[in-house]
Chain A
């Protein structure tokens, strides 16, 4: 049996299924439901077994279509930077407000992906977000939380 990334993912899935099964057994059901034909933990228990069964088979059996992923061709740096930018965006969107955090997210994302035409970067960040906000908040009356714009008196 060859160990490859798919087998490792399957092994991880097997462990997760086992943990899921353990957690399913720990679900506290009502006393009168304990011996019932079906309670809150019945379905998850079967799911845990199903997960272990299919991932177990995947570990044991050879790959029908082996996947070759050459890490040297993958753009890890850009992807990680983009994910980190999203995390920062998610963390600041409520505190800083929609307008500033979204505009900065777009600017940084364009930049990290290799865009250097600042004219377009600026057009597709602050003005774009402003128009989007106007359409959403002003036209469609969808509430957008923005403490900064509220503090500046731009948004009600």
Chain B
């Protein structure tokens, strides 16, 4: 492991990669800060650029963007009460009241220190957990993988969009349907191409991500008439106050951070749970743990109320990398985008990644940590300046997002068809968003589609067409029971509501 860490450090600390982490953190912070645009959009916009680099550099850039976007989301939560991502909603509960009391700088500093500490602790957990889990997951067979992928999709559908399980499952199926377009990987038989040559290679992952996130988010902002810059005028973005944290506040944070980190990491590892659930759970847990007088401050600018969700959401971000790096199965929409990018580089994440590409495996882990250091050193002093981006009017912001989306696809294919297809998917995604159809399950399914079919193919061939592979092995059986429990629980809830 020490050797691996050194390999990772060597790669991550090269001049080019350090520069990429800085650029990534900076760009991610700016994009993540804009309400409505989260880490997925930020990473999606970066993918075409990363394909110009070697895999390690590209992934390091994306890891920087990821952490930057999460931090940026906290900034808009604190300053304008408009969380850039669902994972930072809980941050606004106490962060925004602090900003209203003229302590915006302090709130941002607490958020930054908590994120850093949460990220550091969970990076250590990741360092320990990932190699051990890689070894365990070598015993996994195709039926287990197939089961795990279905579990990932059902869990994301069940947990990421509360009360919208059926809508999320429909989005999963839609994602899998989109992934099935193009030539069959084994037989090269064209499927759903309708004799269109442009579809024979399938639909590009970048195209789907850009259309369903960057472009449709921009269109949703327009159609709903939201103007982030209007919200930005509520608090002075030029005078954020001091960023110094007192001794008393540091003591309070020192109690909160360890427990929130552990909770965040564990929740992050679970498929589908992610930063949002982690931050809410940490907020609730902290409220139960603190003294009564501190409990009164919750929702009115409590240091611990701000520190807990911030620590947990960053810890969950690192935790979500565990299933991605060890099993090759993303547990969230953001890691699904990362998986898509990895596959684009020709790298198959999974238990073998640890052995076949140790430089990539370790450099991603190490660069995540370096990303957090960069965030703390670079972004915190620059926040008063970066915050002014919140005041950029949407009349300039939206066309820029659309321009980057179209250009990203144009540079990849030089094909009009792809641009039209992207616009078409974006329009459909915008309509679906209006009616609360969640997009992360679609992306997760789109990325997993090929792998799922491959594992189902192997499982069915091994069992000679019999579906008994679903319960032959104890591990597969456990996974299938969990899936059935989730599905039936969700459908039962729907029936219960219909009786009411």
A interface with B by C-beta (< 8 Å) = 5-6, 9-10, 13, 17, 20, 23-24, 27-30, 33, 36-44, 47, 50-51, 54-55, 57-58, 61-62, 64-65, 67, 69, 73-76, 78-79, 82-83, 86-87, 89-91, 93-94, 98, 102, 105-106, 109-110, 113-115, 120, 124, 136, 140, 142, 144-145
Contacts and interface: CB of A to CB of B under 8 A. Distances in A.
B173 A54 contact: yes
For A13, A17, A43, A74, which residue has the most chain B Cβ atoms within 10 angstroms?
A: A43
B106 interface: no
B420 A87 contact: yes
Contacts of A9: 431-432, 435, 437
A54 B225 contact: no
B177 interface: yes
Contacts, number: 176
A54 B165 CA distance: 10
Nearest to A120: B396
Interface string B39-63: 0000000000000100000000000
B482 interface: no
Interface stretch (B308-316, B341-349, B458-466): B458-466
A49 B171 CA distance: 14
B180 A5 contact: no
A43 B456 contact: yes
Contacts of B222: 75, 78-79, 82, 113
The 7 closest A-B pairs by CB, nearest first: A37-B465, A109-B399, A90-B419, A115-B395, A40-B184, A113-B395, A64-B163
Contact of B399 (A39, A83, A105): A105
Looking at chain B, what size class is its interface with the partner chain? 35 or more
B180 to A, nearest CB: 5
Nearest to A106: B399
B427 A83 contact: yes
A75 B414 contact: no
A125 B173 CA distance: 40
B406 A74 contact: no
B406 A90 contact: yes
A18 to B, nearest CB: 12
A58 B187 contact: no
Interface string B465-500: 100000000000000000000000001011101100
A28 B225 contact: no
B173 A29 contact: no
Contacts of A64: 163-164, 493-494, 497
A63 B432 CA distance: 15
B140 interface: no
Contact of A62 (B187, B403, B414, B498): B498
30 contacts: A9-B435, A20-B192, A30-B189, A37-B465, A38-B461, A39-B187, A40-B186, A40-B189, A40-B191, A42-B456, A44-B180, A47-B173, A51-B173, A54-B173, A61-B498, A67-B434, A75-B225, A79-B222, A82-B222, A82-B398, A82-B402, A83-B423, A86-B402, A90-B406, A90-B419, A90-B423, A98-B410, A113-B222, A120-B396, A142-B411
A110 B435 contact: no
A45 to B, nearest CB: 10
Contact of B223 (A23, A74, A106): A74
B296 interface: no
For A9, A73, A86, A136, which residue has the most chain B Cβ atoms within 10 angstroms?
A: A86
Given A55-B170, A61-B166, A94-B414, A40 B436 contact: no
B14 interface: no
Nearest to A46: B456
A90 B173 contact: no
Contacts of A94: 414, 416
A33 B465 CA distance: 13
B103 interface: no
A86 B407 CA distance: 11
A43 B395 contact: no
A8 B478 CA distance: 37
Contacts of B52: 140, 142
A67 B411 CA distance: 38
Interface string B252-287: 000000000000000000000000000000000000
